[in-house]
Chain A
């Protein structure tokens, strides 16, 4: 948060180095989010560019009630939703059936004890299987999983990005992790 505030002040003071720091810190993370939502590399690059341009345009108006990173994610998420809306697909990410309060009893689909999980990472097939498992998550669960477990936002930050309650976010995350 202190670093965010520092970057924010420097951006407002037209310090170009701050743009570089911000881009290094968030560009790949925003790209990951966009690519997992849109499944299109070129469109995801556009989302990254659009997001930073919107930040530059609106940095003077940003009131810093949320942290700078959360603001970037929210802009990128909304831009993705706009694109999906143009394609008639935005309802995929607003499925409220994922928000039931009660967490039902579900077991992980892969019920395997891994003694050498590191081996999965050097194994192309292992990586592909992980990618496939994430791709197969329902959209509202996948985006929560990406924000919380891949990009490592807090529950409150991820909920703010998605415009849902922390309770709904927890339910979706629980389901995503055990699918």
Chain B
């Protein structure tokens, strides 16, 4: 496997979604190619950092209101069902 092929399969490699032979080929290339190893490390770390930095939260007060509205809708639905 050369660098161009490694990049082509990089995403599937990260997701462990390559067949066994391609995975072995990729590992052999990575063992000898510092540039591709850096690309792999950087991409994996970027994904991890994005996950940690980007998972947003509904502001607490709004969260309470939203959940209360849902509880009201749930109760109303249940009452109608049981009438």
Q: A residues within 8 Å of B by Cβ?
A: 14, 16, 19-20, 23, 27-29, 31-32, 35, 41, 45, 48-49, 52-53, 56-57, 103, 105-108, 110-114, 117, 120-121, 126-127, 130-131, 133-134, 145-146, 149-152, 155, 170, 173-174, 177-178
- Given the known interface contacts A108-B42, A113-B41, the answer about A174 and B50 at a Cβ–Cβ threshold of 8 Å is no
Contact: A28 with B70, CB < 8 Å?
no
A27 to B7, CA, bound (A): 35
Which chain B residues in 57-77 approach chain A with CB under 8 Å? 57-59, 62-63, 66-67, 69-71, 73-75, 77
Contact: A177 with B11, CB < 8 Å?
yes
- Total cross-chain contacts (CB, 8 A): 122
Classify chain B's interface size: 35 or more
* Contacts A107-B39, A120-B53, A170-B11 supplied; 19 other A-B pairs, CB < 8 Å: A14-B81, A23-B67, A28-B57, A31-B56, A31-B57, A31-B58, A52-B70, A53-B73, A103-B8, A106-B7, A108-B43, A113-B41, A121-B53, A127-B53, A131-B54, A150-B50, A150-B51, A174-B11, A178-B11
User: From A173, which residue of chain B is reached at the shortest CB distance?
Assistant: B11
Q: B residues within 8 Å of A by Cβ?
A: 4, 7-8, 10-12, 14-15, 17, 38-39, 41-43, 45-59, 62-63, 66-67, 69-71, 73-75, 77-78, 81-82
